[in-house]
Amino acid sequence: MAADSIDWVKGQAAIRPDAAALQIGGSVTTYRELDEEADEYAAELTQRGVGRGHLLRFPAAFDRTSVVVIVAGPRAGAVIAPQPTYASTHLDLIDEASGGGEPARVVLDTSGTGGRRRSCVLTSSNVAAAVAASRGRLGNGSDDRWLLCLPLHHVAGVSILWRSFEAGGTVVIEAGFDAGRVARSLAEGSVTFTSLVPTMLYRILRSHPGPYRNHLRGVLVGGAGAGASLVREALDAGLPVLPTYGMTEACSQVATVAPGRARQDLGTVGTPLDTMTVSIRSAQGEPCPAGTTGRIVVAGPAVSPGYLGEPRRTGVHVTGDLGHFDAEGRLVVVGRSDDMVISGGENVMPLAVADVIEQNPAVHRCAVFGVPDPEWGQVVAAAVTGEALDEQRLRAWAELRLSPAEVPRVWLIKDDLPELDTGKVDTDALRAELAG
């Protein structure tokens, strides 16, 4: 697919030039203005010798300039690679073969399967397929305003631009994440969609417990497991939360609860999006029967052809995530295979344990992880925040609701939990604190 065939900003500028493409604070940028700025920057890149075969790495901030670069880079023939804001702008040569025969459009860094940092290649076909599948599930259109507070160097952030521009909607950009400010935007009716990670949702609910008005059409929550208790709390507050499972390698969404079904689908991430094929395989690569947990495997036109510097993917993408399908065909994600705690031969999934502990009225947040133990190999550890927490009472409460292997043997009571820039809890930092 040619890059210009998914130049949605240029397409919208031709048919809806005065419609708002971006809003940042009180400043609105129309599709015509964004298109003109992108053309100017693309011409500047061309004059600097940037074109096909170049990988343009640049710091992606919550600003108009970053959006212009994201739109303009492909117009100049370059492959864009948004980076954290502390990075510097520079050019690399890119091996076009990494795109699997189709030129790459964007390269995004990801931990990938196995936890090591890799640069994931996404083509124009990947992006177009992902956007079409997302719109098919969500039904977003030109009247929608999508609040962006996720980093643009992550697929969940940049995908908001693609989804909104394709539909002719407006992206409302927050200057980073401030729970109170985002809560006000959601409560006051200025946006209809947003995308969050569970930590963000938790902080929004602490800042403004509700009620939220019914102008909101969808609050996608992904990036880490959103426990049923957090989803239920959000729904009770009036937030139309849509639990989502996705990854960089699939250009963001793989499965999302359909609007209006969050309560019926509680504890799941709904069914796979159209064109996304999801299966469950055992450790030996064999298909798992329904209800049996195994490795999640994805395929479809949105799936990346691979990573820079590595051979092209020739089959399905075997993820590092574990899950199963329930009797109604909904996907249940139980955690990452490398997060599983094996204690005395028993397999323990941290997300499931954390979800139970967070049902304790005194607990605000919980992160569960494994720590080495000379007798058991690993034991379960839990870091919790809350009010008037007492380790003995927490342990007794957990023993009534969890199996012996699941009950945390190590408790860490914290005022707050350390986070990565994605909003996920930094369990490595918690392990280091316990070891130190």
Q: Convert the pLDDT of each residue in 143-189 to its tens digit.
A: 999 999 999 999 999 999 999 999 999 999 998 889 999 999 999 98
Interval 395-422: pLDDT, tens: 999 999 999 989 999 999 999 999 887 7
What is the domain partition of the chain in residue ranges?
3-334, 340-435
Task: Provide the pLDDT for residue 373.
Answer: 85
Same fold, 3-334 and 340-435: no
Q: How far apart are CA 35 and CA 170, in angstroms?
A: 14
Mean pLDDT, all residues of the chain: 91
Task: Provide the pLDDT for residue 375.
Answer: 80
Q: How far apart are CA 436 and CA 431, in angstroms?
A: 8
Stretch 204-213: mean pLDDT = 91
Task: Provide the pLDDT for residue 97.
Answer: 40
Task: Provide the pLDDT for residue 3.
Answer: 53
**In whole angstroms, how far apart are CA 105 and each of 5, 74, 89, 222, 312?**
12, 7, 17, 24, 15
- Count the alpha carbons within 13 Å of 46 in the hemisphere toward its beta carbon: 11
Q: Which residues pair with 106 in a beta bridge?
A: 80, 122
pLDDT at 1 over 60: no
340-435 belongs to CATH 3.30.300.30: yes
Architecture per CATH, 3-334:
3-Layer(aba) Sandwich (3.40)
Interval 329-360: pLDDT, tens: 999 998 888 888 988 878 888 988 998 999 99
Stretch 284-303: mean pLDDT = 93
pTM: 0.86
